[in-house]
Amino acid sequence: MTNTEYLESTEESVASTEVSSAETMGDIQKRNNKHRSIKRRRIISNTVVYIVLVIMSIVWLFPFVCLVLQSFRVESTGIVYYIIPKQWGFDNYINLFKNTNFLKWYRNTLIIAIATAVLQTLFVMLMAYGLSRLRFKGRKFLMNVMLILGMFPGFLTMIILYWVLKDLGLTQDGTIGGLILVYVASSGMGYYVAKGFLDTIPKSLDEAARIDGATRFQVFYKIIIPMARPIVIYTVLTAFMAPWADFIFASYIAMSSPDNYNVAVGLWNLLATNSGKDQYYTMFCAGGVLVAIPVTVLFMCLQKYYVAGVTGGAVKG
């Protein structure tokens, strides 16, 4: 190769390298621009989502904040149209316990809610275990019947339930026992989420325990229950909340027996008269705060188990 030919080939190689480098830099620039555009869109979308969530949180928390603030207001006991009190104090909480039967109402509600949570959880877990692990004739039919019956609102049975409970002496003075009976009686039909969770537990564990000589009940409370802790806690929380916040059926059963009211009925009766709003409004707010405390504390302590129970039981089975 002559010197001239060598120089020409070298110039062509350098030129092609420069073109290739130019193309590469252009591609890199385009890719960077694309990444910046994606990042910008992500930032904008996240900002919009956060703004919406903040607005929803404010809307959701605003009534509760107003309730808490009004419960500490002492300059007036009636309804006012400003949010932040001018004078603060614990007078409403003191008067609530001193001038009403709130402590009895709170005790009644606590007894009903705890008894319902324990018994309902037991029945739901037993029903879910039976339908998840056992195969028997009519199983599908039974599940379909319970599913259809669960679609009917409980209000349809209020009148007949009242007369049945009245004949059994479980109204007015027997309100606590009557409400527990009503809340627990059909709880087994709420097995759906619990059964879905139990279906995710391998049946080979049951079979291994049975081979070792364990009974069905031993398998249930020694193997299944410890592994199903999230769904057990989920069931306890949902069972506790229903009687804790019930008003309609509780007022229907208790009627004219103030000592057997639950907190919802008792607080409502404070405001039932025309003068109640002027005399007891701030005490009503104080009672609302005290009613919200147990459920709030339970959710804060058991939130991770609650979420695990819902997600684990809702997508299986």
pLDDT tens, position by position, 179-226: 999 889 888 887 888 888 888 888 888 888 888 888 888 888 888 888
Q: Based on the number of CB atoms within 10 Å of its own CB, is 124 exposed (0-12), middle (13-18) or buried (19 or more)?
A: buried
Three-class SS state of 195? helix
Least confidently predicted of 147-156, 195-204, 244-253: 147-156
In this prediction, residue 2 carries a pLDDT of: 56
In this prediction, residue 138 carries a pLDDT of: 84
pLDDT at 112 over 70: yes
In this prediction, residue 161 carries a pLDDT of: 85
**Global pTM value:** 0.77
Question: What average pLDDT is seen over the chain?
Answer: 81
CB 266 within 8 A of CB 246: no
CB 285 within 8 A of CB 70: yes
Give the C-alpha separation, 126 to 76, whole Å. Answer: 53
In this prediction, residue 14 carries a pLDDT of: 46
- The tens digit of pLDDT for each residue in 171-185 reads 888 888 889 998 898
CB 267 within 8 A of CB 287: yes
Give the C-alpha separation, 231 to 195, whole Å. Answer: 9
CB burial string 29-46: b at 16+ within 10 A, e below? eeeeeeeeeeeeeeeeee
